[in-house]
């Protein structure tokens, strides 16, 4: 063995690299010759790489990583050799939806999620589902505060949402939204919070919300969404827009996977208000989100 090969075989980096490439290829179930065809790296070079007897350029290593569905840094990090099971889980995670990745991160988080959420409940859902009405009445029954995030933002900034949007734009409003949620967390261990329907589209804010609140998706049919919004005096969804219902259905369909990340759901379709309030209270009790009020 020449001096160069002796050096590479004793290098911890080369040893780690060879172990990881070999484990990744086996986890992917790809023969060496097939990996050679995919990456454009010769079988002989791959054999030397996996045995720790060969040196390889970064560019060629990147080709190998890409062909295995990985990044070159996956081979070079300091976490030690990756087992076949770890490689397989990593590939499944990379190929999963954003919703599933969020659930996996939640399960693997070192914090105690129940403790982080304390006894805070957040109602999510599209406008017109009944979040504010149900949240306020459920909070009264439980003798705890109710906070509507929109009102909290207006109080903190000192102007209505319409003016906030005009002055700061959508990005500015989202920043105030995140600050308001943090303020609610700091001020309340027991609270019911109602948030706007579009918050689920803000990945970072919504992920934080899921980790710090017990969440309930308040849902209803598209027709009832529209009817309730109009009953609130807002005729804009239908006025001069014959496609409004189709647009509402499309929006609801697009957001359903995001709302579905909530821990529980309450369907208010064709339900009297009091029945829906009872459903919310039953859901909170069933999942032990909030302790029963004192005498």
CA angle 69, 74, 78 (to 5 degrees): 165
Q: Which residue has the tokens 């039953």?
A: 282
- Residue 212 · residue 120 · CB < 8 Å: yes
In whole angstroms, what is the distance from residue 18 CA to residue 38 CA?
Answer: 18
User: Rounded CA gap, 179 and 152, in Å?
Assistant: 10
- For residues 247 and 224, what is the distance between their CA atoms, to the nearest angstrom? 14
Domains along the chain?
Answer: 3-95 (1.10.260.40), 107-286 (3.40.50.300)
Along the 295 residues of the chain, how does pLDDT read in single tens digits? 444 444 444 566 677 777 888 887 887 788 888 888 888 878 887 888 788 776 666 667 777 777 777 776 666 665 555 566 776 777 777 777 765 666 676 666 656 667 789 999 999 998 888 899 999 999 999 999 999 999 999 999 999 998 999 998 888 898 899 899 999 999 999 999 999 988 998 888 998 899 999 999 999 887 787 777 676 655 454 455 557 778 878 888 888 899 999 999 999 988 999 999 999 999 999 999 998 765 5
Secondary structure class of 175 (helix, strand, coil): helix
CA distance linking residue 16 with residue 22, whole number of Å: 10
Rounded-to-integer distance, Cα 80 and Cα 220, Å:
50
Do the beta carbons of residue 263 and residue 216 sit within 8 Å?
yes
Strand partners, 192: 121, 146
DSSP collapsed to 3 states, 229-244: HHHCCCCCCCCCCCCH
């Amino acid at each position: 063995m020449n001096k160069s090969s002796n050096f590479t075989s004793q290098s911890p980096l080369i040893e780690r690299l060879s172990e990881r490439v070999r484990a990744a290829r086996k986890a992917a179930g790809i023969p060496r010759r097939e990996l050679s065809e995919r990456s454009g790296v010769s079988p002989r070079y791959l054999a030397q790489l996996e045995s720790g007897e060969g040196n390889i350029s970064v560019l060629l290593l990147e080709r190998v990583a890409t062909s295995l569905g990985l990044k070159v840094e996956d081979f070079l990090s300091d976490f030690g050799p990756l087992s076949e099971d770890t490689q397989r889980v990593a590939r499944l995670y990379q190929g999963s939806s954003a919703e599933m990745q969020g659930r996996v991160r939640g399960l693997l988080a070192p914090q105690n999620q129940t403790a982080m959420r304390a006894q805070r409940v957040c109602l999510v859902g599209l406008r017109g589902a009944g979040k504010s009405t149900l949240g306020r009445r459920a909070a009264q029954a439980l003798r705890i505060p109710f906070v509507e995030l929109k009102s909290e933002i207006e109080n903190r900034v000192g102007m209505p949402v319409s003016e906030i949007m005009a002055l700061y734009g959508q990005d500015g409003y989202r920043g105030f939204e995140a600050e308001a949620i943090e303020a609610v967390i700091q001020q309340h261990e027991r609270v019911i919070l109602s948030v706007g329907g579009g918050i689920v589209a803000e990945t970072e804010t919504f992920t934080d919300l899921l980790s710090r609140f017990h969440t309930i998706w308040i849902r209803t049919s598209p027709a009832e969404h529209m009817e309730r919004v109009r009953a609130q005096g807002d005729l804009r969804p239908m006025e001069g827009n014959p496609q409004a219902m189709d647009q509402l259905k499309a929006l609801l369909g697009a957001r359903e996977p995001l709302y579905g990340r909530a821990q529980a759901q309450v369907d208010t379709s064709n339900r009297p208000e009091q029945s829906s309030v009872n459903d919310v209270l039953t859901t909170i009790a069933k999942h032990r989100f909030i302790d029963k009020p004192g005498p």
